[in-house]
Amino acid sequence: MNYWPALVTNLAETTEPLDRFVQAMVPPGRKTAQEMFKARGWVVHNETNPFGFTGVHDWASSFWFPEAAAWLAQHMYDRYRFSGDLTYLRDTAYPVLKGAAEFWIDTLVTDPRDGRLVVSPSYLPEHGDFSAGASMSQQIVFEVLSHTLDAARRLNVDPGFQTEVQNTLARLDPGLRIGSWGQLQEWKSDWDDRNNTHRHVSHLFALHPGHQIVAGTPHGQAAKTSLTARGDGGTGWSKAWKINFWARLLDGDHAYRMLGEQLKTSTLDNLWDTHPPFQIDGNFGATSGVAEMLLQSRHDVIHVLPALPAAWPTGSVAGLRARGDVTVGVDWRERAAERITVRTGRSGPIKVRSSLFAGPHRVQDEQGAEIAATVSGDTATWTAQAAKTYTVVRLGSCAAPPADRPVVAWDPASGTSVSDVSGSGRPASVVGPAAYEQSAPTGSGLVLNGTTYLRTAPTTLGHIRAATFAAVVKTGGSGYRRLFDSQPSGDPGGDGIIVDLTPSNNLRFIGAGRNVTTGAVIPAGRYVDLVVTMSAAGAVDVYVDGVRTGGATVSADGINGCATRPLQFGADQNGGQRLVGAVDRMAIFPRQLSGSEVRGWQDLAF
């Protein structure tokens, strides 16, 4: 449980001590398997120590749990699934998995009631009672056998052993039964009491951390019935389990409620989880639950925002990891994804699920080129290349700005505040020293000395089908330098807009799904009247002092200005790539100005 969040939160290196610890238990665990069970493989129960103890101990209500070795092996298989590292699978994980599987192949017994293979005796920790084929036991054994078989196939090793595992799986009782009141049975016999509110909900292992149970299926509904009957009480670690359970059932609001219950009633002032007095697995388990609310990757599908609660209507997360060697980020608004970034570590098909795919959207690569994705309902599939980042953006997911006025119109004159005379309510602040020069055409140009730029409060520009960006500006400096900026760093053009200068002073336009450099070279060292228009068809034209000097083409999707972030002039979102020179006036229009309007844009804006 302590390692549940490690892989999904991009902390895989923290699992290395666990790997070494598990590997160190295998030799004594093999001896215990031989002497106690006359079995191959290795075993450990639910307690150990630094000296390799793998037998039973003297705690009456939880001394018997030989399934622990198989559960530990699941962590190692999962590390492989997140990384795709075959060397790790072959050298580290597979020997542990194989030994755990061998133990169960040798110790499962045939249930005379139905001829299926079961764990006997099996005992639910701290709950009991002894029986044959309790659900948790069967589910854990199903997982380890399935994972071992998959690993052997991927490594193309041990064909005879593969057959042995296959035959065992074919006869294994999977531990999934729906009982008389619609519950997921905790035991093979229907012994469940709907009034039982015990803190353990062990028979939901197949929901989490296992993968057999999926929300929306009959077994998923049965798991929900059992979980509802158990209630929202329990110790801190019990509530952490329930956060993960509800997230896997895609009920973000109930998962959030359990997170609140844990924080309010099972967390000390120093943020330690209470058992009481303290069990850190509650802290780590809750962290896992939050990650599961934001991202799940089961059955080769990456599910983005699978259980987002109403309490988190707007937000973003970056750097989460999905199985398949994929790193995921997402921005959302009104509980819907606006922008998803997916960085793939390996080449091959990738399948992403999000409500974003149910509406107008665009999948693009790092250069802004559109990727052909096959969409079925809320799931998209495309062929990914290793070490590449793909961006999915929602199109037209917010209203267009009013067409009767500019999006913004600034005329810096003095001081550190610049009013927006457009009526759109986007005043700017001067970041850095505010100095003005009288040589500007209006007599008050804001000096951009490499430390000064303009920045609004976070704002939503809207979905802009056609646009005009205009400024009276004097440029200098070197490298890439920003003019207009409302885009996160590194975005290929699907989220927000950048109008900037290249090291050669060519005008570059990043928006409407494209990153294009025009042939227009902007004169340096003097004030120029610069206008950039974008038509609804994606034609970009650049005018200097009223004369067209270059252009390019972007998509017809329009500018996705639906995210909320500052609009800036003279620097990027992180305050870098600053423009050196001065600016007199600037404006953005939510339409393409005509040739005659280009020359009179200041009259339209001011």
CATH code at 87? 1.50.10.10
The count of structural domains within the chain is: 4
Residues 452, 448: Cα–Cα separation, whole Å: 5
Give yes or no for residue 522 having a pLDDT over 70. Answer: yes
Work out the angle at residue 248's Cα, subtended by the Cα atoms of residues 243 and 254, and round it to the nearest 5 degrees: 45
**Quick one: which H or E segment has residue 481?**
strand 481-485
- Cross-sheet strand order for the sheet of 336-344: 315-322, 326-333, 336-344, 388-394, 361-364
Residue 300 lies in a domain: no
- C-beta of residue 483 within 8 angstroms of C-beta of residue 580: no
Position 28 pLDDT exceeds 80: yes
**Residue closest to 73 by CA, chosen among 49, 32, 41:** 41
Lowest mean pLDDT among 82-86, 204-208, 373-377, 392-396: 392-396
Whether 114 and 229 share a structural domain? no
Written as six digits, the tokens of 339 are 């922008």
| Residue at 306 is within a domain | no
Length, in residues, of the chain: 606
- Say if CB 173 and CB 211 are below 8 A apart: no
Instruction: Mention every residue, 6+ apart, whose C-beta is less than 8 A from residue 143.
Output: 70, 74, 206, 210, 211, 212
Lowest mean pLDDT among 168-177, 299-308, 354-363: 354-363
Q: Angle, nearest 10°, between helix axes 236-248 and 218-230?
A: 150
Q: Which residue has the tokens 């068809």?
A: 537
Residue 531 lies in a domain: yes
Same domain, 423 and 478: yes
- Segment 266-282 shows an average pLDDT of 92
**Omega into 121 within 30° of 0, i.e. cis?**
yes
CATH of residue 528's domain is 2.60.120.200
Q: Give the CATH number of the domain where residue 353 resides.
A: 2.60.40.1180
Residues 7 and 102 grouped into a single domain: yes
The dihedral of CA 145, 150, 151, 156: what is its sign? Answer: positive
Pair (95, 186) in one structural domain: no
At 287, the amino acid letter reads: T
In a domain, 450, yes or no: yes
Is pLDDT above 90 for 37? yes
Of 295, 330, 345, which residue constitutes the final position of a domain?
295
Share above pLDDT 70 across residues of the chain, in percent, rounded to a whole number: 99
Residue 583, Cα to own-chain centre: how many angstroms? 40
Backbone angles phi, psi at 180, to 5 degrees: -65, -25
In this predicted structure, what is the pLDDT of residue 492? 83
Per-residue pLDDT at 397 exceeds 70: no
Question: Amino acid letter at 429?
Answer: S
Phi-psi category of residue 100: left, alpha or beta, with phi > 0 → left and psi -120 to 50 → alpha: alpha
Q: What is the C-alpha radius of gyration for the chain, rounded to an integer number of angstroms?
A: 30
In this structure, are 235 and 329 located in the same domain?
no
**Which pair of structure tokens corresponds to residue 445?**
């140009």
Could you list the residue range(s) of the whole structural domain that residue 351 is in?
A: 315-394
| Nearest Cα to Cα of residue 472 among 437, 502, 503 | 437
Greater pLDDT, 359 or 462: 462
| 433 and 529 both lie in a single domain | yes
Under DSSP, is residue 291 helix (H, G, I), strand (E, B) or coil? helix
User: Rounded to 5 degrees, what are φ and ψ at 181?
Assistant: -110, 25
Tell me whether residue 4 is in a domain: yes
Q: What confidence score (pLDDT) does residue 546 get? A: 97
Pair 559, 533 in one domain: yes
What is the C-alpha separation between 308 and 310, in angstroms, rounded?
7
**pTM more than 0.85:** no
- Do 10 and 320 touch, CB atoms closer than 8 A? yes
Same domain, yes or no, for 109 and 249?
no
- Higher pLDDT among residues 215 and 124, named by residue: 215
Specify if 421 maps to a domain. Answer: yes
Beta partners for residue 481, in sequence order = 501
**How does residue 209 score in pLDDT terms, banded at 50, 70 and 90?**
very high
Instruction: Please report how many Cα atoms fall inside a 13 Å half-sphere around the Cα of residue 581, on the Cβ side.
Output: 29
Q: Compute the Cα dihedral for 561, 566, 567, 573 and give only its sign.
A: negative
Same domain, 442 and 562: yes
What is the SS3 assignment for 355?
helix
What are the tokens at 154?
């991927």
- Percentage of the residues of the chain whose pLDDT score is greater than 90: 88
Q: What is the DSSP string of 296-337?
A: EEETTEEEESTT--TT--SEEEEEEEETTTEEEEEEEETTEE
Q: What is the pLDDT of residues 68-113, one digit of tens each?
A: 999 999 999 999 999 999 999 999 999 999 999 999 999 999 999 9
Token readout for 330 is: 């997402």
Same domain, 345 and 412: no
- Same-domain pairing of 97 and 31: yes
Please check whether residues 169 and 201 belong to one and the same domain. no
Among 348, 369, 394, the domain-final residue is 394
User: Which residue, of 241, 265, 295, is where some domain finishes?
Assistant: 295
Burial 272-286 (b: 16+ CB within 10 A, else e): bbbeeeebebbbbbb
pLDDT per residue over 105-163, tens digit each? 999 999 999 999 999 999 987 888 899 999 999 999 999 999 999 999 999 999 999 99
Does residue 30 fall inside a structural domain?
A: yes
In the structure, what pLDDT confidence band is assigned to residue 243 with cuts at 50, 70 and 90?
very high
User: Could you give the CA distance from residue 306 to residue 582 in angstroms, rounded to a whole number?
Assistant: 47
SS (H, E, C) 157-220: CCHHHHHHHHHHHHHECCCCCECCCCCECCCCCCCCCCCCCCCCCHHHCCCCCCCCCCCCCHHH
Domain annotation covers residue 288: yes
pLDDT at 590 over 90: yes
Q: Decide: 398 and 425 in contact? Cβ < 8 Å.
A: no
